[in-house]
Copies of this chain bind each other. A is one copy, B any other.
Amino acid sequence: MRSVAKGAAGRTARQLGVCPEYAEPAPLAAPRAVTVPGTAPRAVEPVLTAPRAARAVSPAKRTRDAAGVAPGALPLDQILLGDSIQMMAGLPAGSVDLVFADPPYNLQLGGELKRPDESLVDAVDDDWDRFDSFATYDAFTRAWLLAARRALKPNGTLFVIGSYHNIFRVGAMMQDLGFWILNDIVWRKANPMPNFRGRRFTNAHETLIWAARSADAKYTFNYEALKAGNEDVQVRSDWLFPLCTGQERLKDGAGKKLHPTQKPEALLARVLLSATKPGDVVLDPFFGSGTTGAVARRLRRSFIGIEREEAYAQAARARIDAVEPLPEDALIAPPSAREAPRVAFSVLVERGLVTPGAELTDAKGRFRAVVRADGTLSLAGGQNVGSIHRVGALAQGAEACNGWTFWHVEEQGRRHPIDVLRARLRAEMGIAAE
């Protein structure tokens, strides 16, 4: 097991402030510092931890290539020890593909965990306390969301998980900051803790919000792979997973659970398989026990973790180092029709897979069209000439039509969609999927 590379980072060299190569301006960050109890500056030392000796890069050496946004500047597969907001501000802007955030829903006031449920204080003070708490929590939320937004690539997406104590505030703030919600997702706990007092419904789920950086972002969503792994039906917004228990749950020396809210790896796996590609960079600003890192490594994604508590970071480091990445061929995406290179129908004609003058029909043989040498079709019994799609639409009187699946060709007495010919050509050309 490897320890967090604290000493190597040169602890005494810079006492406060941000590590030099992280000191670049953060244009989209909060305009003024937001002071949050519990996240207020301790002596923040951005200590880079290395997954293995060969990858260990000391901060001093890395200052050399800190100017640009080059991927090399990223502390990949490392755990940054320090405050989430400050550490994110030190990352190059627009550099990560996905942020997964499991923020605290408790307001860490004075280092003491204070649950909303326990804040049953004097009714007279209640209103003020509530206002103060919510305002503080909102400021904290705004600050880390802005820092995450800055770190994200334009087409990157963000997952946040929370419960009813905080998720509404987080979701509203996300909308206010311009994030574009793609889904809210429900993690249904197969084995939730019962409600002991019998005063409420069993709190049996948590909520994830998945959002793009903006409404027009071209985000990653591995739709076809997810569907294929789900009995060929779309994956829904409600996911069923057990809690993290048993062997998977990290324990401390005394056999007690190391972290109070360790998430199950299955949940993170679904997240990463949904919204990232192998090699993508995943940032987790509230790294905790490092589930995100462990799953990222297993699925051959890169990660950047940020964690304030050294004990958690140490345990996460050891945990991740023990993970064996899956074989690469276990992670190859199944061919996606959407991402396949385009092949024009004219190419099929040029390459001889369809002969000019050949007759195409629809599946039932009701409509007929003739293939022309330039790759257009002419509808039988009319003057209409155009693309396979246009002519298919015209034939049916429809507004649109996918000519590849509409038009069929007859081979050896059997009728195939011309999409079959296209697939054949793609195979010949060895262009499986770019």
**Are B234 and A202 interface neighbours, CB within 8 A?**
yes
Q: Which of A73-81, A119-127, A348-356, A374-382 interfaces with chain B?
A: A119-127
**Are A238 and B186 interface neighbours, CB within 8 A?**
yes
A399 within 8 A of B: yes
**Are A118 and B399 interface neighbours, CB within 8 A?**
yes
**Are B169 and A201 interface neighbours, CB within 8 A?**
no
- A130: chain B residues at CB < 8 Å are 175, 178
State how many angstroms separate the Cβ of A10 from the closest Cβ of chain B: 42
**Are B234 and A176 interface neighbours, CB within 8 A?**
no
Q: In A153-194, which residues have CB < 8 Å from any B CB?
A: 163-165, 167-172, 174-176, 178, 181-186, 188, 192, 194
Residues of A in contact with B, size category: 35 or more
Chain B residue nearest to A219 (CB atoms) is B199
Instruction: Quickly give the copy total for this chain.
Output: 2
Q: Which of A143-151, A204-212, A326-334 interfaces with chain B?
A: A204-212
Chain B residue nearest to A197 (CB atoms) is B223
Point out the residue from B165, B168, B192, B227 that lies within 8 Å of A167, measured CB to CB.
B168
**Are A234 and B201 interface neighbours, CB within 8 A?**
yes
A203 within 8 A of B: yes
A15 within 8 A of B: no
**Are B238 and A134 interface neighbours, CB within 8 A?**
no
State how many angstroms separate the Cβ of A179 from the closest Cβ of chain B: 10
**Are B398 and A203 interface neighbours, CB within 8 A?**
no
State how many angstroms separate the Cβ of A85 from the closest Cβ of chain B: 21
**Are B205 and A186 interface neighbours, CB within 8 A?**
yes
**Are B170 and A183 interface neighbours, CB within 8 A?**
no
| CA gap between A164 and B186 in the complex, in Å | 11
| CA gap between A398 and B167 in the complex, in Å | 38
Whether A126 contacts B203 in the complex (CB less than 8 A), given A168-B167, A168-B172, comes out as no
| CA gap between A164 and B174 in the complex, in Å | 12
State how many angstroms separate the Cβ of A389 from the closest Cβ of chain B: 13
Point out the residue from B123, B172, B207, B398 that lies within 8 Å of A169, measured CB to CB.
B172
**Are A202 and B164 interface neighbours, CB within 8 A?**
no
Whether A201 contacts B185 in the complex (CB less than 8 A), given A123-B216, A216-B120, A234-B195, comes out as yes
State how many angstroms separate the Cβ of A399 from the closest Cβ of chain B: 7
State how many angstroms separate the Cβ of A174 from the closest Cβ of chain B: 8
A240 within 8 A of B: yes
A200 within 8 A of B: yes
Point out the residue from B119, B168, B236 that lies within 8 Å of A201, measured CB to CB.
B236
| CA gap between A223 and B201 in the complex, in Å | 8
**Are B204 and A236 interface neighbours, CB within 8 A?**
yes
Chain B residue nearest to A175 (CB atoms) is B134
**Are A204 and B237 interface neighbours, CB within 8 A?**
yes
Whether A237 contacts B400 in the complex (CB less than 8 A), given A176-B134, A183-B164, comes out as no
| CA gap between A329 and B111 in the complex, in Å | 40
**Are A223 and B198 interface neighbours, CB within 8 A?**
yes
State how many angstroms separate the Cβ of A406 from the closest Cβ of chain B: 11
**Are A215 and B126 interface neighbours, CB within 8 A?**
yes
State how many angstroms separate the Cβ of A69 from the closest Cβ of chain B: 22
Chain B residue nearest to A398 (CB atoms) is B118
| CA gap between A236 and B199 in the complex, in Å | 12
A235 within 8 A of B: yes
**Are A118 and B240 interface neighbours, CB within 8 A?**
no
- A192: chain B residues at CB < 8 Å are 236
5 intermolecular pairs with C-beta atoms under 8 Å apart:
A165-B181, A183-B203, A194-B234, A198-B221, A205-B236
Taking A119-B215, A168-B175 as given, write out 12 further A-B residue pairs in contact, using a Cβ cutoff of 8 Å, ordered by the A residue number: A118-B398, A118-B399, A120-B215, A164-B209, A167-B168, A169-B171, A171-B172, A172-B172, A201-B234, A201-B274, A205-B237, A238-B238
